[in-house]
Amino acid sequence: MQTYLDCIPCFVRQALEAARMATSDEKIHEAVLRGVLNMAGRMPMDQSPPVMGRRIHRLIRELCDDADPYRAVKERFNRAALALYPQCRARVEEADDPLETAVRLAIAGNVIDFGALSDLDEKVISASITQALDAELFGDLGRFREALQRAGRILYLGDNCGEIVFDRLLIEQLLPREVTFVVRGRPVINDVTMTDAEMSGMTKLVPVIDNGSDIPGTVLAECAPQFRDRFRQADLVIAKGQGNYETLSDEDYPIVFLFKAKCPVIARHIGCETGRLVIQGPS
């Protein structure tokens, strides 16, 4: 997906919010803002929005002199999600259709997105779960079920901290198929890294690899060769979150996208309203 003009004011707003979450130093807030204005003034519109996201977050990390400025807040959301895990797992086990309930909860977890939501807290996660259990899905769960019947090797691309705990619920339903979970290669905003895969219990459930990149999405050309091989060999890729959709929606692979449509530009791109639970593909 290309970058739209409406993404630009959003980049600027997100950069300021992210800088404030990373440090209380107002000089750094201003430097981040000016840096992002200059970058955005020259950015090519044919690249996907997460490529700009990488540049913004590299600048924040550099100016903060901190390789992982959101570590504490990422751990907070991992813990909050882990506290909800037992009751969510019980919901899946008691459900008439455990796979559907697990899909809904995995999408509900996608609300934990620092880029899209500025007023995120534990209450927002609980509300997202309640909404996700009843809301109409935008897309075809049947097509996902069919794809699963033929899929021996599944690559599951994670998205955010906290959310990864809800991904466990869905992956538990996919076993005993061969599932590999993928995290980002380095910290970028609140995206999952190997540390979060360990903290969330994911590493005890399935093999976890990293993609070698610090883009908050999956730009194949920028990922490690080993990851690209795994991507091409997979029978089915499950891609969580808006960033993975923005970077992979034009790729010709068997991918199913699961996310909450938080951004109006993405919602318009796929033809749904903002706030919908999206399941798209595989094509």
**Chain positions contacting a second copy, by CB under 8 A:** 5-6, 8-9, 12-13, 16, 26, 29-30, 33-34, 37-38, 40-42, 45
- CB nearer to a second copy: give 52 or 151: 52
Q: List 124's β-bridge partners, or say none.
A: none
Decide whether 12 or 148 has the Cβ nearer to a second copy. Answer: 12
SS3 of residue 93 by DSSP: helix
| Minimum distance of a second copy from residue 64's CB (angstroms) | 16
Gap between the Cα atoms of 2 and 250, Å rounded: 10
Copy the structure tokens of residue 206: 């399935």
Per the listing, tokens 């259990």 go with 133
Q: Strand runs (DSSP E) across the chain, as ranges?
A: 137-139, 153-157, 178-183, 208-210, 236-240, 255-260, 277-280
Kindly state the smallest distance separating residue 42's Cβ from a second copy, in Å. Answer: 8
User: Each residue of 178-211: b (16+ CB within 10 Å) or e?
Assistant: ebbbbbbbbbbbbbbbbbbbebbebeebbebbbb
Pairing label, strands 255-260, 153-157: unpaired
Place of tokens 């970028």: 188
CA 81-147-169 angle, 5° bins: 15
Q: Rank residues 48 and 280 by Cβ distance to a second copy and give the closer one.
A: 48
Least Å from the CB of residue 77 to a second copy: 24
Smaller CB separation from a second copy, 5 or 72: 5
Q: Write the CB contacts of 10 (distance below 8 Å, at least 6 apart in sequence).
A: 263, 265
**Is the CB of residue 239 less than 8 Å from the CB of residue 223?**
no
Closest contact distance (angstroms) between CB of 46 and a second copy is 12
Minimum CB–partner distance for residue 245 and a second copy (Å): 23
Compare residues 4 and 253 and give the one whose CB is closer to a second copy.
4
Give min distance, CB of 120 to a second copy, in A: 18
By C-beta, is 212 or 264 nearer to a second copy? 264
CB of 193 to a second copy, least distance (A): 28
Output phi, psi for 137, to 5 deg.
-75, 145
Cβ proximity to a second copy: between 16 and 220 the closer is 16
Helix (H) or strand (E) holding 144: helix 141-150
Residue partners of 26: CB distance under 8 A and separation at least 6? none
